[in-house]
Amino acid sequence: MPIRLEPRAAASRWVRYLAPVASALAAMIAGTLLFFFIGHDPAEAFYVFFVQPVSDLYGLGELFLKTAPILLCATGLAIGFRSNVWNIGAEGQLILGAICGGSLALAFDSVQGWWLLPAMFLAGGIGGMAWATVAAVLRVRFNANEILVTLMLTYIAGLFLSYLVYGPLRSPTGFNWPESTAFHGAARLPRLLDGTRMNAGILLALGVAVAAWVFVRFSYLSYQMEVGGKAVNAARYAGFGRNRMIWLGLLISGFCAGLAGVVEVAGTIGKLREVVSPGYGFAAIIVAYIGRLNPLAIILSSVLMALFFIGGEQAKVSLGVPSAITGIFQGTLLFFLLMSDLLVSYRLTWVGFASNSAEGGGAVDG
Amino acid sequence: MGEGPGQPRLKLRGIHKTYSALVANDRIDLDVMPSSIHAVLGENGAGKSTLMKIIYGVTEADAGTMFWNGAPQPHLSPARARQLGIGMVFQHFSLFPALTVLENILLFAPKGATREELRSTLKTVSAEYGIPVNPDDVVGRLGMGERQRVEIVRCLLQKPKLLILDEPTSVLTPQAAEDLFVMLRRLAANGCSILYISHKLHEVRELCHTATVLKAGRVVATVDPREESEDALARHMLGSMVPAIRHDAAHAGAERMSVLALSRDSEVAGGVGLDDVNLAVRCGEIFGIAGIAGNGQAELLEALSGEWVGAPAECVCLDGAPMGRAGVRARRRAGLVYVPEERLGRGSVPGMPLRRNSLLTTGFANFFRGGLIRQGPVDAFTRRCIEEFDVRPADGTANADALSGGNLQKFIVGRELLQSPKAVIAAQPTWGLDVGAARAIRQLLVDLREDGVAILVVSEDLDELFAICDQIAVLANGCLSEAKSASSTSVEEIGRLMSGRPVAGVGSPLQGGACADQA
Amino acid sequence: MAEADFFIFIAVATLTAATPLLLAALGELVSERSGVLNLGVEGMMLVGASTGFAVAAGSQSLALAVLAAIAAGAVLSLLFGFLTLTCMANQVATGLALTIFGTGVSAYIGSGYTGSALEVAGPAGIAYLSEIPVLGPLMFSLEPLTYFAFLMLAGVWWFLQRSRAGLTLRAVGDAPEAAHANGLNVLRVRYLAVMFGGAMAGAGGAFLSVFYTPVWVENMTAGRGWIAIALVVFAAWKPTRVLFGALLFGGVTIVQFQVQGINLGIPTQFLSMLPYAATIVVLVVISSDRIKIGLSTPASLGVPFRR
């Protein structure tokens, strides 16, 4: 290749954070081009996907409605990813959270009280955590890869929820739809703004994100987790137990995903049904990366991801493409970020075609 | 391609190579004659390895020409180099551990060669040169010395005209190195040229006919090493003499760190366990453990540092207190610090600035408040460490991986020693460092000894051990020999113990507990 | 005779259910042996499935459909290769992105066909031979891609164990720096291995949508790509053991269908959990011997190679 890579001595901070912004723009442009190639007016597609959904108050409400679960999942995942714990089953932990929180709401249907909602969140968080615990035990005790285990557990969680809403939790008055009875008022998150569906879930999510930022920025525990993530042997040398880090990474992310599940059923949906999330838990992986695993930056990337979800739904209505097309945007976004990371850590130098195999580096004398 | 007498087999003119800002090779000229054993002598970082990689076609020079038997070679690759008859024995990274010896050789055999043909050629060649290798051994299970033999045989199969060896004795016991020299002389007598890269003066004087001395990427002298004194060679190499380490007689005190009847298995595939290891390090004493890496060193260090806690508590004692079950941080609280061999990725975290790396092993009370880190005191500590130990760049925000090996090692040593330790463990403390940095670190250890600290040094470098240690023992195949006072033993004796029975590198290191008497 | 028929039916069904796993896992195995962990198998299978279905529906040619699916899988893997090999991006993150991307792409390609079915004749069987009792249906009346999968199994085994190119691939996966120092082209080997993985995943996807259940449904692979990755671990990176694992999972799938059929009162969802639960169990069993798994894992797996 006529181009040579040279490592940059130090990647400047603003380049590190500029890359995700550039990637977001590139993904938007690439997505719009994609619509052009499949025969849509690119300007219209861009408008439908990125402008129309948030052009009124209701749309903005929807944006923050969807931001909340994504932000919760991504914040938790980021803490795990920092310690190199690959929990990619946030979707499953979200479902378990929804099941636990939702079941509590249904169980106390007749007893209403201010305590019910906090109890639901606690139950949901613990549910998500319990699901992550399975992966933690198997990883720590049996060395089983947490990527595959958390993912398999996601499929199992989905089937379990399906069993519940087709079976024991199915509403007797629901015309045989696979749904539970609707939750009553005390089990619902309060709306924040009239004329929108936005609820208090976003406040909870923001609170968790800020708390997570304080944790990763200042705490010794988070420092230890980060060391474990960057260099396992250094953590061992320093006496930071790896197993403890795996436990923490999985439990924290499981808890946050469980909260996200409760936000969905107690806020947006108001009951249990077969599908409680359109893939927020998976999208959160990308969100965490785009936010550079920094909880404050993740707030922004969550909003962007929420926009992708709404845009996908809008495109389904207006352009007749499946809403799953948002996956293309999500994937492209991360592709661009990963590509731009090359430019963050290396400088490209044009060396011309004359030399046949350019050697960019290698140590001098071993 | 004429190969007349007087015609150099290999001729380099104006070879130039830079990495970012660093000039690794600065317009180097070099002539290697047929049948000559030609040394390339220089300190770590002088540009020797880069030059060899250029000759072998792994790395491309920015400028300059290489001539082979007088013909210029513009586009060189390892495959082309092999065709010309250049063989290379690398210092690191050249065999494939998961493959068998035969597969490793097959990989670079000419097209169409079958396993059976190679097997018989291998037998012939290894008999001819007296180098025993078993074609079906998995390389990963061989000792370092055996691996080197495989590499050499692999080169010999191609009937090389020029054999390049990069620091070949760094993994050998003194005796095995002698065997290697015998073989190299025989090869040279048969017409093969040999490029011998080393920084060890006595080897070069013993073996080589010509020596080209590199300093900071430049040729500073070409001499006949047999006619130069070691001092003269060292002056070429370093520019000036390095003062010797100040080392007074020991006045050792009470036993500070001890290991009692420690036996364990290795936890890594192909690792060597420990068999009934006993040692005691007293206050004000430097205790050296010699031996080739891979003979249980990593396992012993883990057990001492607390990274491995599988032994009964009384197996490891600090100041008489049983610590065998205590973890890393408990041992650190008891006054033990540890400078590991692997600087980046173990002793420090890559991608983290020094001001965060300071926190890795330090547990000063004023660094924390309620589970949160107080960066102020940590930064102050980092500055002190950088200043007192002359770390460059003197910048706490520089990432650990941006520092040179020597500076990073100074930072790590500083971080450990500034914790007022009672006992210090240092593994290969000066490996790969230039002479100045190595001397500074050795002097620090000696000074600490004067202050009554107990110090354990694990090293492959016998010169280093004899320069600073009071007691020396040898770890070979998981067994630790009886400690000898440094003044009452010799390099030869320690070297013999290193090869022990069985020799490190001969026989499978997987045979646990096969410790013959080493006396 | 009825029992024999039932046995043959189960055996054929198991072989058929094992086919997509065998295909995808063999591809991933080759990729991983070269040191590249591609977690995008699920995405590549899905794109293979939707492409295969669309081409089959459009051209009525099953062969063309499979070829198109193979090409689609290879193209996606090329994207993965560019990011992880040329740009040296994190392989885990890139693989996840590829799965999400592939899911979206497959949904788009399949959007016109959702719920529609292909009119496919069952396997024709090989003339005369398929009429041999017991052996005939078992060996000569399977889907063409099932034969292909077995052929590839033998091919991959021969390639890795016997061929010079396979030796090179193993060397690259074991010690890329050494390979580079000796003049092997690490990136080219890895690109080819990754593309083989993509092509095989594409074929596995096409098998599902064109032969197995000739209908397109979003997300129809239902985690088979991930199970294939688990199978490679289970097989300790040895091709022959991949077959064993694939048959095991094919068997679990068939047992689950059979039990659903005879209605024991177990909710179907619990039966559907079986393959996923089995994957976890299998992973736990195989991974708990840390030293053994450490020995068989390709040494450079997941580590970017920087020239």
What are the extents of the domains in chain A?
A: 3-353
User: Which residues lie across from B10 on neighbouring strands?
Assistant: B32, B68
Amino acid found at C222:
A
Whole-number Å distance between alpha carbons of A346 and A173: 62
The count of residues in chain B is 519
C93–chain A Cβ distance below 8 A for any pair: yes
Which tokens go with B22? 């660093």
3-state SS, B41-60, equals: EECCCCCHHHHHHHHHCCCC
Q: How far apart are CA A195 and CA A60, in angstroms?
A: 11
Any alpha helices (H) in C141-185, and if so which ranges?
144-162, 164-174, 176-181
d(CA C103, CA A283): 12
Q: Are B458 and B370 in contact (CB under 8 A)?
A: no
Those chains having 3 or more beta-carbon pairs within 8 angstroms of chain C are A, B
Residue A362 above 70 pLDDT?
Answer: no
Nearest residue to B93 via CA among B25, B151, B152: B151
- Strands across the sheet with B274-282, in order? B274-282, B255-264, B316-318, B321-322
The beta-carbon neighbor of A360 closest among C93, C101, C307 is C307
Q: Is the pLDDT of residue B301 over 50?
A: yes
Residue from B52, B86, B107 to probe the interface with C (highest C Cβ count within 10 Å): B107
State yes or no: cis peptide before B502, omega within 30 of 0.
Answer: yes
**CATH code of the region A3-353:** 1.10.3470
| pLDDT at residue number B246 | 64
Interchain contact A143–B (C-beta under 8 A) = no
pTM of the model: 0.87
Higher per-residue pLDDT: A116 or A316:
A116
A356-365, B16-25, B255-264, B354-363 — which is least confidently predicted? A356-365
ipTM confidence score: 0.90
**How would you class B299 by CB atoms within 10 Å of its CB: exposed for 0-12, middle for 13-18, buried for 19 or more?**
buried
Distance from C-alpha of C2 to C-alpha of A250, rounded to nearest angstrom: 51
B265 interfaces chain C, CB cutoff of 8 Å: no
Confidence band for A249, pLDDT divided at 50, 70 and 90: very high
Q: Which of B140, B94, B139, B100 is nearest to B118 (CA)?
A: B100
Highest mean pLDDT among A36-50, B137-151, B232-246, B363-377: B363-377
Q: Is-contact C55 C182, C-beta < 8 A?
A: no
Write the pLDDT tens digit of every residue in B35-83. Answer: 999 999 888 778 888 899 899 988 889 999 999 999 999 888 888 998 8
- Which amino acid type is present at position C276? Y
pLDDT above 50: residue B361:
yes
- Positive or negative: CA dihedral B301, B307, B313, B318: positive
Residue of A349, A355, A365 to mutate for B, most B C-beta atoms under 10 A: A365
pLDDT > 80? residue A360: no
| pLDDT above 80 for B397 | yes
Helices (H), chain A: 13-37, 42-46, 57-82, 90-107, 116-142, 146-166, 201-218, 220-230, 232-238, 242-263, 280-290, 295-319, 326-345
Please answer yes or no on whether B93 and C175 come within 8 Å at the CB atom. Answer: yes
Residue B125: per-residue pLDDT:
84
Q: Is the pLDDT of residue A330 over 70?
A: yes
Average pLDDT over residues A173-199: 86
Provide the mean pLDDT of chain B: 86
B116 or C46, which is more confident? C46
Token digits of residue C212: 């197995």
Report whether pLDDT(A187) > 50.
Answer: yes
Tell me the shortest Cα–Cα distance from B390 to chain A, in angstroms: 20
Q: Is the peptide bond before B110 cis (omega within 30 degrees of 0)?
A: no
CA gap A87, A249 in Å, rounded: 8
Give A197→chain B minimum CA distance, Å. Answer: 38
CB B10 within 8 A of CB B52: no
Q: Which residues of chain C have pLDDT under 70?
A: 1-2, 120-131, 133-140, 307
The answer, for A231 touching chain B at a CB cutoff of 8 Å, is: yes
pLDDT at A27: 87
Name chain A's partners: 3 or more CB pairs within 8 A.
B, C
pLDDT in tens, B316-325: 999 989 999 9
Contacts 24+ apart (CB under 8 A), B312-317: B314/B260, B315/B259, B315/B260, B315/B261, B315/B262, B316/B258, B316/B259, B316/B260, B316/B262, B317/B257, B317/B258, B317/B259, B317/B260
Distance CA A107, CA A90 (A): 25
Between the alpha carbon of residue A86 and those of residues A90, A278, A290, the distances in Å are 10, 21, 16
Residue B313 DSSP class? G
**Token pair of A185 as six digits:** 């008022």
* Tokens read off for B464: 């280093």
C2-117+130-296 fold: ABC transporter involved in vitamin B12 uptake, BtuC (1.10.3470)
Q: What are the structural domain ranges in chain C?
A: 2-117+130-296
